[in-house]
Amino acid sequence: MKIIKNIADIRNLIKEFRAKNFTIGLVPTMGALHIGHESLIERAKEECDAVIVSLFVNPTQFCPGEDFDKYPRQLEADSDVCSRLGVDVIFAPTAEEMYPSGMESLTEVIPPSSFQDKLCGKSRKGHFNGVALVVLKLFNIVTPDKAYFGQKDAQQLAIIKKMVQDLDVNTEVIGCPIIRDADGLACSSRNKYLNIASREKALSLNKALKKVKELYDKGEDSIIEKAKEIIHHEAEVEYFKAVALKSFEYKEKIEKGTIIVIAVKIDGVRLIDNMVV
């Protein structure tokens, strides 16, 4: 497995892969890999000849006051995971490599407001511009045939699919199911910030989502209001909403294919989760 830090080197390697007619799969991550990331890598390994995992804590997607500085960075442990899974290349650029002229006066990639003026985009102003920018840059650098993203970040996935469609990017975006720990908590690099008591409170997210499904199956109404009662009383609910899976428009009525999205802050840690009905 190669660990590559600069763009010129990865471009040369991509040329070699192309000369061998390899299909290329990219798994973009911010590192601190867990079994959620592993599931994306495994899927890429099944479907592509060469698998590249990017590890980059992207500064342009963090808002002021967020955890950019304390976000876990652990190249060595992540390399072990990637090597165990048979990854061909880790691409781990520095911020200077990705943004050589700094973070000011950059060309912007702005997803449509209907996708990003709500939910995570509302509370994290500019977050999805940063995501779209870095993902487009990674796509231009790696030119993957397929790129793998988690359904865990459902709004991000919808925005990337829209960007790829609108800008004719020649990459197939593949959404992969949410991976959870045995207790039901959706895996996240930020779960490291939770202590035992906070984690216990966090379990109420998945329980509330399951309650939605249960009430939907029973044909009840005011489902979100009823399911909200399950969320731990110390969790600050940022949103708990029903949206259309593809367009991310709010939905009054929950129906098959509606996605229920939730974001809360528990003891200062922001967590998101979702479930497709």
- Is residue 37 a contact point for ligand AMP (CB under 6 A)? yes
When the beta carbons of 88 and 153 are compared against ligand AMP, the nearer one is 153
Longest Cα separation, the chain? 58
Q: Is 150 in the site for ligand AMP (CB under 6 A)?
A: yes
Q: Does 136 bind ligand AMP (CB under 6 A)?
A: no
Binding of ligand AMP at residue 30 (CB under 6 A)? yes
- Of 24, 25, 26, 39, which lies in the binding site for ligand AMP, with binding defined by CB under 6 A? 39
Number of residues that bind ligand AMP (CB under 6 A): 17
Decide if residue 29 touches ligand AMP (CB under 6 A): yes
Kindly state whether residue 188 participates in binding ligand AMP, applying the rule CB under 6 A.
Answer: yes
Residue 37 CB, nearest approach to ligand AMP (Å): 5
What is the rounded CA–CA span in Å between residue 201 and residue 157? Answer: 27
Q: Is 232 annotated as catalytic?
A: no
Q: Judged by CB under 6 A, does residue 186 bind ligand AMP?
A: yes
Q: How far is the CB of 252 from ligand AMP (least distance, A)?
A: 27
Q: Return the residue of 10, 26, 36, 191 that touches ligand AMP, per CB under 6 A.
A: 36
Contact indicator for 54, 28 with CB cutoff of 8 Å:
yes
Q: Which is nearer to ligand AMP, 129 or 188 (CB)?
A: 188
Q: Which is nearer to ligand AMP, 135 or 223 (CB)?
A: 135
CB of 149 to ligand AMP, least distance (A): 4
- Positive or negative, the CA dihedral 129, 171, 148, 4 is negative
Catalytically annotated residue among 37, 127, 232, 233: 37
Residue with nearest beta carbon to ligand AMP: 150
How many Cα atoms are found within 13 Å in the side-chain-facing hemisphere of 268?
7
Give the separation between CA 90 and CA 205, rounded to whole angstroms: 33
Which 189-218 positions form the footprint of ligand AMP (CB under 6 A)?
Answer: 189
Would you count residue 153 as binding ligand AMP (CB under 6 A)? yes
From residue 97, how far is each of 9, 29, 45, 64, 147 by CA, in Å?
Answer: 12, 17, 27, 22, 21
Q: 10 Å Cβ neighbour count for 169?
A: 18
Q: To which H or E segment does residue 150 belong?
A: strand 146-150
Note the helical H segments in the chain: 7-19, 35-47, 75-84, 95-98, 113-116, 119-123, 127-142, 154-166, 196-217, 223-228
The two structure tokens encoding residue 17: 């892969």
Integer Cα distance of 157 and 115 in angstroms = 11
- For the annotated catalytic residues, the residue numbers are 37
Which residues contact ligand AMP by CB under 6 A? 29-30, 36-37, 39-40, 149-150, 152-153, 176, 178-179, 186-189
